[in-house]
Amino acid sequence: MNQIELIRALPKAELHVHIEGTFEPELMFAIAQRNQIQIPYQSVEEVKQAYNFHNLQSFLDIYYAGANVLVHEQDFYDLAWAYFEKCAEDRVVHTEMFFDPQTHTERGVEFATVLAGLKRACTDAKEKLGISSQLIMCFLRHLSEEKAFETLEQALPFKDDIIAIGLDSSEVGHPPSKFERVFTKAREAGFLIVAHAGEEGPPEYIWEALDLLKVNRIDHGVRSEEDERLMTRLIAEKMPLTVCPLSNLKLCVVKDMGEHNIRRLLQKGVHVTVNSDDPSYFGGYMNDNFIAIQEALALSHDELKQLAINSFEASFISDEEKQKWIEEIKAI
Ligand code: HPA
Ligand code: ZN
């Protein structure tokens, strides 16, 4: 079995994917038409041409504009279902998906509408595709602490449907410390915690995510390598980093995939995982990300298997489930 065949054969868990970032232009056009909403593009080709980013913010502007056509429960269902079909193709057998309720509630869409559509897709994915899933609700960090508190209030009646709370959107200038109090409340309510940190922001933001938000995982975290003391801490605590290689390339966090530090982080003993982030915008789903790093960094069979094992170990599934998938990986 060559490396590409191994990548395709491995069962994998995806731990860093924004469901709004899986919105393919074809589906965006179809939903815009059905909801009679104008989008500033004439064709699918024109949409794809707009996907030329130079940093995180240049992407976020387009990503939020695309999400504007999502209004009805069925829209959120269709969005998530299309992603689950990609998971099935890539042998992603478990996924923990981010959703950004504020992107929708700020436009007048009910929190319950968003959640109902996503949840129905999750139920169908288990039944029809055998894919398990969880939902992670993110606060938009460019908005206020007060807005985050309001969003947490809206989520409380749906506590059982949401496994964790995360933090995303424009990182620089919006450190984790801005949200310390609302994450304390979320933890007290029983949610697990994750946060984007160290994508464009400095290692200091990763320290804050660990010490103030008390995260269970760091999303991205690729800048941790700049801080030796932080590296020692991450390794000692076996703190997972949900790394997104094609995202890092498209948002110019790295200039070239050959410069990506995921293999070096793995070799140093950091608990890294591979993820797609916003696959419709960044040029690929799970296996595309694996193949991109494989081609640029020449990972060994054992390293590819370790990345797949890490994805289950870092996930929020039960220990029995973890063991089952890890044994299957080791037997390949
Ligand atoms: N970083 C921050 N916010 C995001 C991202 C990301 O990579 N994708 C969607 N929202
Ligand atoms: Zn992300």
| Residue whose C-alpha is closest to residue 246's, from 26, 86, 51 | 51
pTM higher than 0.95, yes or no? Answer: yes
Atom of ligand 1 nearest to the CA of 278: 8
Q: What is the pLDDT of residue 248?
A: 98
Reported as a pLDDT band with limits 50, 70 and 90, residue 85 is very high
Domains, the chain, ranges and CATH?
3-315 (3.20.20.140)
Q: What is the pLDDT of residue 318?
A: 98
Q: What is the pLDDT of residue 30?
A: 97
pLDDT digits (tens, 9 = 90+) for 173-203: 999 999 999 999 999 999 999 999 999 999 9
Q: What is the pLDDT of residue 217?
A: 98
Q: What is the pLDDT of residue 7?
A: 98
Residue nearest to atom 2 of ligand 1 (CA): 169
DSSP string across 217-243? EEEE-GGGGG-HHHHHHHHHHT-EEEE
301 belongs to an annotated ligand binding site: no
Ligand 1 centroid distance, CA of 98 (Å): 10
Ligand 1 centroid distance, CA of 146 (Å): 21
Q: What is the pLDDT of residue 322?
A: 98
Residues with CB under 5 A from ligand 2 (ion): 277
Q: What is the pLDDT of residue 195?
A: 99
Ligand 2 centroid distance, CA of 277 (Å): 5
Task: Work out the average pLDDT over 95-109.
Answer: 98
Q: Kindly state the helix (H) or strand (E) to which residue 98 belongs, with its residue range.
A: strand 92-99
Edge-first strand listing for the sheet containing 12-18: 12-18, 92-99, 132-140, 164-168, 192-197, 217-220, 240-243, 271-274
Give me the phi and psi of 239, to 5 degrees please: -80, 120
Q: What is the pLDDT of residue 182?
A: 99
Give me the phi and psi of 106, to 5 degrees please: -65, -20
Residues having CB within 6 Å of any atom of ligand 1 = 18, 21, 56, 63, 168-169, 196, 199, 247, 277-278
Question: What is the token pair recorded at 138?
Answer: 């993110």
Task: Work out the average pLDDT over 283-307.
Answer: 98
- What are the catalytic residues? 199
Residue nearest to atom 3 of ligand 1 (CA): 169
Ligand 2 centroid distance, CA of 98 (Å): 8
Name the E strands within the chain.
12-18, 92-99, 132-140, 164-168, 192-197, 217-220, 240-243, 271-274
Task: Work out the average pLDDT over 99-114.
Answer: 98
Evaluate whether 310 touches 271 at the Cβ level (below 8 Å): yes
Residue nearest to atom 7 of ligand 1 (CA): 277
How many residues are listed for the chain in this entry? 332
54 belongs to an annotated ligand binding site: no
